[in-house]
């Protein structure tokens, strides 16, 4: 009598292992996407609070564009999305949309982040 595994047993173990690995990598991919989405929300919230708590009270308006040059109170790394694109880059996921502007001074804005696992995250001006 021979000892060892049959071809069928080896194939079944191989298929089962492959399915487990596939499930693992799908879940890891989803978790990574959720993590990137959370980082996007944190960045948009930081920009929002910088505009509302720092820029607007001093100036009485919102800027026509935002960057680390005119909004200096947030971490400079937050201007770049998790994929390496800066705010306003068409390939990126962060967007600042000013509205009701005259001479570079705006009364309204929307800050947006395109998320991977949820709808677009949007913050509108408070004042």
In a domain, 15, yes or no: no
> Is 46 in contact with 71 (CB distance < 8 Å)?
no
The whole model's pTM is what?
Answer: 0.82
The pLDDT of 75-97, averaged and rounded, is 95
Higher per-residue pLDDT: 101 or 88:
101
In a domain, 42, yes or no: yes
E strand intervals along 1-127: 62-63, 94-102, 105-113, 121-124
Question: Chain-wide mean pLDDT for the chain?
Answer: 93
- pLDDT tens for 41-68 read 999 999 999 999 999 999 999 999 999 9
Q: Is 48 helix (H, G, I), strand (E, B) or coil?
A: helix
CA distance 60 to 13: 68
Which residue blocks in 51-80 are alpha helix, DSSP H? 56-59
For residue 1, the model assigns a pLDDT of: 65
Q: How many domains does the chain have?
A: 1
CA distance 24 to 56: 47
Range of the domain at 83: 32-124
């Amino acid at each position: 009598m021979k000892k060892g595994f049959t071809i069928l047993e080896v194939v079944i173990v191989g298929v089962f292992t492959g399915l487990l690995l596939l499930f693992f990598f799908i879940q890891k991919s989803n978790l990574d996407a959720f993590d990137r989405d959370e980082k996007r929300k944190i960045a948009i919230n930081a920009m929002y609070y910088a505009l509302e708590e720092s820029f607007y009270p001093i100036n009485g308006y919102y800027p026509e564009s935002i960057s680390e040059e005119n909004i200096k109170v947030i971490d400079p790394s937050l201007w770049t999305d998790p994929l390496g694109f800066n705010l306003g880059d068409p390939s990126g996921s962060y967007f600042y949309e000013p509205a009701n502007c005259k001479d570079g001074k705006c009364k309204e804005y929307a800050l947006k982040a395109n998320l991977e696992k949820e709808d677009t995250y949007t913050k509108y001006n408070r004042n």
